[in-house]
Amino acid sequence: MDNARLRHFIAVAEELNLGRAAKKVTLTPSVLGASVTKLETELGVQLIDRTTHDFVLTEAGAAFLVEARATLAGTARPGRAFAPQAGGKAKASKGKGRAPAVKGQPKVGKRRQSR
């Protein structure tokens, strides 16, 4: 199960309409529907009751929606664990914008061509 499928399911669960959900995640309705169906197959449970005019979350779908949102919220900001502790702001160092030279390494630059 990947995060994309979770986002697809959440969009369908929130909109309860395949067309609107597809626009929300910028997919075609058929691709979005297939993604949610694959998720249901993977989980072995029906998350959405589909009728000709309605989409309704099943009890398992409503429970899974809570878990899917929590999972995505936990993965939404992977850099958060590395944020500086003091005030939450990183300090930029001032310099010329170039990395320092490493001793023993040849200088990289334009080579003069001999004629």
Amino acid identity of residue 105, one-letter, is Q
* pLDDT tens digits for range 36-95: 999 999 999 999 999 877 889 999 999 999 999 999 988 765 555 555 555 555 555 555
Q: What is the pLDDT of residue 54?
A: 82
Give Cα separations from 8 to 35, 58, 63 (angstroms): 7, 16, 16
Q: Which residues of 91-101 are buried (b: 16+ CB within 10 A; e: fewer)?
A: eeeeeeeeeee
Give Cα separations from 53 to 1, 17, 20, 80 (angstroms): 28, 9, 13, 42
Q: What is the pLDDT of residue 53?
A: 77
Q: What is the pLDDT of residue 100?
A: 54
Of 58, 69, 62, 12, the residue nearest 35 (C-alpha): 12
Pick the CATH number of 3-75 from 3.30.1390.10, 3.90.870.30, 3.40.50.150, 1.10.10.10: 1.10.10.10
Locate the domains of the chain by residue range.
Answer: 3-75
Q: What is the pLDDT of residue 82?
A: 52
